Copies of this chain bind each other. A is one copy, B any other.
Amino acid sequence: MSKLIDVCLLGTGGMMPLPNRWLTALLLRFNGKMILIDCGEGTQIPLKLAGWGFKSIDAIFFTHYHADHVAGLPGLLLTMGNSGREEPLCIYGPPGLIDIIKGVTVIAPQLPFEIRLFELSKDNVATSGFGEIEIHSIPAEHAVPCLSYSIEVKRAGKFDVQRAKDKGIPVQFWSRLQKGETIEVDGTTYTPDMVLGEARKGLKISYCTDTRPIGSLVDFAQESDLLICEGMYGEEDKIEKAIEKKHMTFSEAAMLAKNGNVKELWLTHYSPSMDNPEDYLCNARSVFSNTVIGRDLMSKTLVFE
């Protein structure tokens, strides 16, 4: 089992792609599997620049269906098709997914792979099927139905040699048990919990964009190793606009990070009117010191403690 997850913030803009700022989207890689969250107009360009390839994207998750988070999908699907993909692609998103995908793929009609659509309910449910990764979603508070996501890599407990010996478990089964496998031999069942200690801290990444900083998100993002959160407005005096447009100021995002006890905060989804988000970093850092101004193609490898 891999002990690390790669994270790449493909873009950091909101509303429209700019000459020097791609739209907000997140790429994750773990054990050779790749997951993309959101795909606005032009997202395939930073995807190419990231250099992780197009073909092996296992799933795409959408937070919501505003154009700046979806319009790049048909082009990406065609590029994936041109790169030789044949495996089915799973696409997840809030209710409405089927109509939206039907609409935008009118210009990507003949793909060499199947698309499987999954509308996520409003409850916080884990989506599995990505190896050791679990993806949770929860409703955000935006102008349209919108989800925030968390990506969690679970980590089993340490292998306890003494317990394995005490229980008389044959040595040849130890490594399979350590990997989480249950083994049945001659009527006897050996399970991982017989030899593993308490589950250890894994990794957690939360992605909250296009939302007000509602209380449920504080719980949802709790203890994240990395919170990637929108900061539509850097200026403190844009709080009223943030409330009206259902977005956040930098300091609101920082408060969410602080109350969520996260380790690190990356801001993203900047208003096109904000030329240099660095100018307002102090507004976030005065609330939560480990705030970073997200930049296009900023990446990080998170490793188990």
Chain A positions within 8 Å of B, measured between CB atoms, are 15-19, 40-42, 44-45, 48-49, 65-68, 70-72, 74-75, 78-79, 82, 99-100, 102-108
Contacts and interface: CB of A to CB of B under 8 A. Distances in A.
Nearest to A144: B109
22 contacts: A15-B78, A16-B44, A16-B82, A17-B44, A17-B45, A18-B45, A41-B41, A41-B42, A41-B71, A42-B42, A67-B108, A68-B75, A68-B78, A71-B107, A99-B106, A103-B103, A103-B104, A103-B105, A103-B106, A103-B107, A104-B104, A104-B107
A16 B107 contact: no
B15 A82 contact: yes
A interface SS class: helix
Contacts of A82: 15-16
B19 A66 contact: no
B16 A67 contact: no
Contacts of A44: 16-17, 41
A115 to B, nearest CB: 15
A72 B15 CA distance: 13
B104 A48 contact: no
Contacts of A16: 44, 75, 78-79, 82
The 8 A-B residue pairs whose C-beta atoms are closest, nearest first, are: A103-B106, A67-B107, A41-B75, A42-B42, A103-B103, A67-B74, A71-B75, A16-B79
B17 A42 contact: yes
A53 B74 CA distance: 26
A56 to B, nearest CB: 17
A163 to B, nearest CB: 54
A15 B100 CA distance: 23
Contacts of A71: 41, 71-72, 74-75, 107
B104 A17 contact: no
A40 B45 CA distance: 13
Contact of A100 (B41, B49, B75, B107): B107
A70 B106 CA distance: 10
Nearest to A78: B67
Contacts of A75: 16-17, 40-41, 67-68, 71
B19 A49 contact: yes
A185 to B, nearest CB: 53
A17 B78 CA distance: 12
A82 B17 CA distance: 13
Given A41-B74, A100-B106, A104-B107, 17 more contacts: A16-B44, A16-B82, A17-B45, A41-B42, A41-B75, A65-B106, A65-B107, A66-B107, A67-B74, A67-B78, A68-B75, A68-B78, A71-B72, A99-B106, A100-B107, A102-B106, A103-B107
A106 to B, nearest CB: 3
A15 B54 CA distance: 15
